[in-house]
Structure 1
């Protein structure tokens, strides 16, 4: 392992990518978490057979207690995925209530804003909403005021009421919507289902 263990996750991911990238139409790998998805049971058997063959032929060990087969709803990388939707797991949503509306400690504010990363894909305009809080992380920032408290309350409300993300259907027309400002940038993929 070059340069010590701190590079172990990225090196392992690189190896996993080399093994499985040719099969990314039905195998997603993130470090040691693997998701295999299929449109039918017969197809899933074929995909599993390919995965097991690849794992064995590359000396990878599969942990049987962690295997979940033929699931229509799964938890993967902090999300619950069904046939057509993705939602953040409940733990990612509940974090917001653990913080006070007045976050005066800089480290606590950093934790709050950092935790929002887990739900940022589901929260439109997060960068814009959170901008006053990010300003509080700067040196010589202005004191906490009612605006900051209101921002935290708005963010908590949005986090509790996040929408799901629908998985893209390759057969539907796609629209890419982007937006950018001095505060941030973002984009979404939309689809018309007719």
Structure 2
């Protein structure tokens, strides 16, 4: 489930509107809803979502990532029940859900850069491919951006710490930025899909 227009669903307190003032040739304007380009906007929206759905999250039936809601359940009946709970809590709080971005009763889905099912967790290769099309980082800012992306998938990358050690050193102070001839950057290849996580059926017996 996806919240419609994301951050715009958060109001701005009157005493904070002056901090979001913008000037056009036709006059001065102030945001009354949270704009998308505010640094703390994701944190504010995440806190609101966690506050609203705290009960469902603690029951381990829901994951909330900013404006994305993932409901997971063992039976269709439970699934419908938790969808109803989400909608019931959303209505009085004026939290709007985008129907066209919702998928119900799915056994597999793409979520936050991963392919998720009841049995396995994989990297979404379309997300990886989009990053691999970018040129090799040529400065510290670009390297930090790449390492931030790669670190998100560190559990899927074998010997991640070893592979990236030389790249992290390039981001240190008083270090001349010069890419290694080999080593770290080969992570921009097939290594990005080296591990797939499987889930256990705890009702079965294991040795």
Q: Assess same fold via TM > 0.5.
A: yes
What's the counterpart of residue 155 of structure 1?
187
What's the counterpart of residue 48 of structure 2?
15
Unmatched runs of 5 consecutive residues or more in structure 1: 173-191
Aligned ranges 1:30-69 → 2 under 5 Å: 30-69=65-104
Matched, 1:117 2:151: yes
What's the counterpart of residue 199 of structure 2?
167
Aligned equivalents of 1:160 and 1:28: distance in 2? 25
Q: 1:149 to 1:112 in 2, by over 3 A?
A: farther
Aligned equivalents of 1:57 and 1:84: distance in 2? 36
One of 134, 141, 165 as aligned partner of 2:168: 134
Shift of 1:143: 6.7
Aligned equivalents of 1:91 and 1:166: distance in 2? 20
More strand by share: 1
Shift of 1:89: 1.3
Matched, 1:105 2:119: no
One of 120, 123, 128 as aligned partner of 1:88: 123
One of 65, 77, 80 as aligned partner of 2:112: 77
TM-score by length of 2: 0.69
Shift of 1:91: 3.1
Unmatched runs of 5 consecutive residues or more in structure 2: 1-11, 20-33
Aligned equivalents of 1:160 and 1:72: distance in 2? 24
DSSP 3-state at the match of 2:53? helix
1:96–1:112 CA contact under 8 A, matched in 2: no
1:93–1:119 CA contact under 8 A, matched in 2: no
* Number of matched pairs: 171
TM-score by length of 1: 0.73
